[in-house]
Amino acid sequence: MQLAKNKQILIGGGIILVFVVIAIFAPQISPRDYWRQDLRASLSPPGAKYLFGADEFGRDIFSRAIYGTRVSLIAALGSAGLASVFGLTLGLLAGYYGGAIDRIIQSGIDVAWSFPTVVLAIVIASTTKPGLGSVIIAIAAVYWAQYARVIRGEVVSAREEEYIVAARACGCSHVWIMTRHILPNVMAPVIVMISITTGYAILLEATLSFLGVGVQPPTPSWGIILSEGRAFMSSAPWITIFPGVIITVAVLGFNFLGDGLRDYFDPYMKRL
């Protein structure tokens, strides 16, 4: 199978699979409860007892990072899924119907694109109740326009194809044509975008939590661990180093998978 021969897909998929397993089995993998404090072990360096060291409250960084995997993946996958559904729907409507519907949706896309990504996410997260749900909504509100713009272009190209004209001639309804004929043929870029934007969403969730407008303590998050460790950069750098490395590896995994899927779905790349 050509899909299984793509090294980027294998590497990216393997990295993501490891993180998914860690998130699912966090209670079994974690050596300690993420909230348990031991002030006698405050700022303990990495070692046999504390693999990633301990923070100022004596909490195990390794255990907190494991549970943070669950939070970060839920936020990233949830926001990417919500953004894809919303953007796909609007892009499909805009590309298929055109006219006034297209102009209205295009105006919304332009407005969304006019704001810097991080600024828009911070504004939305700050004006809603802090928590995981608000983070998902804020990140989805940032990325839906990317899906809508790409899908609109794909649908505009597909709606004049002969099989669409034939479906109209047979009396098929607009809903039937969009869902049964056009949608399956524009899903390839959506799948690629979900993988890539999930990596971006991990970074954005960590940013929001780091700034204090995302997931709130004591819920563990990679961004929260980074935020809590910035006051100890000189005396206990391991508090920020390990979650920073984990975030980097997770984002690379989704980027590898997205690049591999893009090459797989691109007919030109298949011929290289």
Going from N- to C-terminal start, the domains of the chain cover: 2-30+50-271
**pLDDT, average across residues 138-147:** 93
Per-residue three-class SS string for the chain: CHHHHCHHHHHHHHHHHHHHHHHHCHHHHCCCCCCCCCHHHCCCCCCCCCCCCECCCCCEHHHHHHHHHHHHHHHHHHHHHHHHHHHHHHHHHHHHHCHHHHHHHHHHHHHHHCCCHHHHHHHHHHCCCCCHHHHHHHHHHHHHHHHHHHHHHHHHHHCCCHHHHHHHHCCCCHHHHHHHHHHHHHHHHHHHHHHHHHHHHHHHHHHHHHHCCCCCCCCCCHHHHHHHHHHHCCCCCHHHHHHHHHHHHHHHHHHHHHHHHHHHHCHHHHHC
- The mean of the pLDDT values for the chain is 89
* Residue matched to tokens 């796909």: 88
Q: What is the mean pLDDT of residues 144-158?
A: 91
pLDDT tens column, 122-142: 999 988 888 889 999 999 999
pLDDT tens per residue, range 193-215? 999 999 999 999 999 999 888 88
Residue 271 has pLDDT above 50, yes or no: no
In which band, very low, low, confident or very high, does the pLDDT at 186 lie, cut at 50, 70 and 90? confident
Is 2's pLDDT higher than 80? Answer: no
Chain segment 4-35, per-residue pLDDT in tens: 677 888 999 999 999 999 999 999 999 999 88
Amino acid at position 265, single letter: F
pLDDT of residue 141: 93
- pLDDT category, 115, cuts 50, 70, 90? confident
Cα 147 from Cα 108, distance rounded (Å): 13
d(CA 225, CA 25): 20
pTM of the model: 0.89
pLDDT (average), residues 151-157: 90
Q: What is the pLDDT of residue 269?
A: 46
Please name the fold of domain 2-30+50-271.
MetI-like fold (1.10.3720)
Q: Which two tokens stand for residue 185?
A: 């043929």
| pLDDT value at residue 207 | 92
Predicted confidence (pLDDT) per residue in 66-100, tens digit: 999 999 999 999 999 999 999 999 999 999 998 99
